[in-house]
């Protein structure tokens, strides 16, 4: 399982995301080859400034991966996934756009190919890692430390960008599938695709507070012990957004709960970097 990896701008500074993905990849035998000299994709803001330059930014990322022998790129950020998916959708079949970006990319000896593809790391976990491998590694990890996570209720939170409408996968039960695979109990709730404020949660914190509160109230109402998400911005907003609320539910990455089930330690998974810490009962999975 070897992939071209596009980290995006927020990956290395996210609370334990890189650490947990690196640790889980080692256990599962997944290899990420970071795309050399990658650039910002423009995120969700720049397309409103210049569509032409946004297409170039995205096309360059695909072209760099192609130069390394990859036609598929994996990312762990909803905004990066959505932006690159939009780029693919707009360029595919549009000879005028493709000719323009390739003319500009030719200065670096690069070329964009329309059969390139962007995938989210969650999809790799759910669709590419064999069920038998999950069963073997989770069983070994839990038995070695005598862990049982079945009584721990995990609320999945997808956010709004992965689920609207620029995607070519059906993600609406992928987190639930992973939560079950690694031995936790998924909690269904009505806020899992609601917007948390995204990049506006900092400059418009007051206006974003009701959005964050609605999500947190929704998962607490369903008796969740923790939340798991798949986007650096979503994790930060829900974690940081509780600082002025009378709530304290941990906001983890899906790779962190997967790592716990594989028997990896909290610090190895970057769980010590969360603002709201995961309590000992959860970390030890209601030890047998």
User: 171 with 87: CB under 8 angstroms?
Assistant: no
Radius of gyration of the chain from Cα atoms?
A: 19
Are residues 93 and 139 both part of a single domain?
Answer: no
Are residues 143 and 256 both part of a single domain?
Answer: yes
Are residues 103 and 158 both part of a single domain?
Answer: no
Q: Give the sign of the dihedral formed by CA 142, CA 147, CA 153, CA 155.
A: negative
Domain end point (choices 90, 120, 150): 120
Q: Lowest-pLDDT range, 158-172, 194-208, 221-235?
A: 158-172
Are residues 138 and 270 both part of a single domain?
Answer: yes
Domain coverage including residue 175: 131-283
Phi-psi category of 146—alpha, beta or left, where left has phi over 0 and alpha has psi -120 to 50? left
Give 174's Cβ-side CA count (13 Å radius).
Answer: 23
**Among 223, 228, 140, CA closest to 180:** 228
**Measured between alpha carbons, how far apart are the two ends of the chain, in Å?**
33
Q: Which two tokens stand for residue 157?
A: 């939170």
Q: Which two tokens stand for residue 151?
A: 């009584």
Q: Which two tokens stand for residue 73?
A: 């790129």
218: domain CATH number is: 3.40.50.11810
Q: CA distances (Å), 268 to each of 27, 32, 36, 123, 263, in order?
A: 12, 18, 26, 23, 10
How many structural domains compose the chain?
A: 2
63's CB contacts (< 8 A; 6+ apart) are: 105, 110, 111, 112, 113
**Among 264, 268, 261, CA closest to 228:** 261
pLDDT digits (tens, 9 = 90+) for 146-175: 888 989 999 999 998 887 766 666 667 899
Q: Compute the distance between CA of residue 187 and CA of residue 155 in angstroms, rounded to an integer.
A: 5
Domain end point (choices 69, 85, 120): 120
The model's pTM is: 0.92
287 alpha carbon, distance to own chain's centre: 29
Q: Residue 2 is inside which H or E element, if any?
A: strand 2-5
pLDDT digits (tens, 9 = 90+) for 168-200: 666 678 999 999 999 999 999 999 999 998 887
Phi-psi category of 159—alpha, beta or left, where left has phi over 0 and alpha has psi -120 to 50? left
17: domain CATH number is: 1.20.1050.140
144 alpha carbon, distance to own chain's centre: 28
**Considering the domain boundaries, does residue 275 fall inside one?**
yes
**Considering the domain boundaries, does residue 125 fall inside one?**
no
**Considering the domain boundaries, does residue 126 fall inside one?**
no
CB count within 10 Å of CB 246 equals 5
83 alpha carbon, distance to own chain's centre: 14
pLDDT digits (tens, 9 = 90+) for 6-48: 999 888 889 999 999 999 999 999 999 999 999 999 887 766 6
Across the range 210-235, mean pLDDT stands at 95
Are residues 47 and 172 both part of a single domain?
Answer: no
């Amino acid at each position: 399982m070897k992939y071209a990896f596009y980290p995006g701008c927020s990956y290395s500074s996210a609370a334990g995301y890189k650490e947990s993905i690196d640790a889980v990849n080692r256990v599962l035998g997944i290899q990420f080859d970071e795309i050399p000299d990658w650039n910002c994709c423009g995120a969700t803001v720049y397309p409103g400034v210049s569509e032409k330059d946004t297409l170039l930014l995205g096309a360059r990322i695909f072209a760099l991966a192609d130069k390394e022998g990859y036609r598929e790129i994996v990312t762990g950020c909803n905004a990066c996934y959505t932006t690159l998916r939009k780029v693919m959708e707009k360029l595919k079949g549009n000879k005028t756009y493709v000719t323009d970006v390739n003319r500009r990319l030719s200065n670096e000896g690069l070329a964009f190919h329309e059969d390139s593809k962007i995938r989210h790391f969650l999809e790799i976990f759910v669709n590419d890692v064999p069920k038998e491998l999950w069963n073997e590694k989770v069983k070994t990890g839990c038995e070695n430390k005598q862990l049982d996570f079945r009584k721990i209720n995990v609320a999945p939170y997808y956010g709004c960008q992965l689920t609207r409408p620029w995607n070519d996968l059906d993600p609406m039960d992928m987190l639930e599938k992973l939560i079950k695979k690694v031995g936790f109990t998924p909690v269904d709730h009505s806020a899992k695709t609601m917007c948390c404020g995204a990049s506006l949660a900092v400059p418009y914190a007051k206006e974003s507070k009701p959005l964050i509160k609605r999500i947190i109230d929704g998962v607490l109402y369903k008796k969740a012990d923790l939340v798991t998400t798949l986007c650096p911005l979503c994790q930060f907003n829900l974690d940081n957004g509780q600082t002025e609320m009378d709530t304290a539910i941990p906001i983890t990455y899906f790779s962190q709960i997967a790592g716990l089930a594989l028997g990896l330690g909290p610090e190895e998974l970057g769980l010590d970097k969360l603002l709201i810490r995961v309590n000992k009962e959860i970390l030890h999975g209601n030890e047998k």
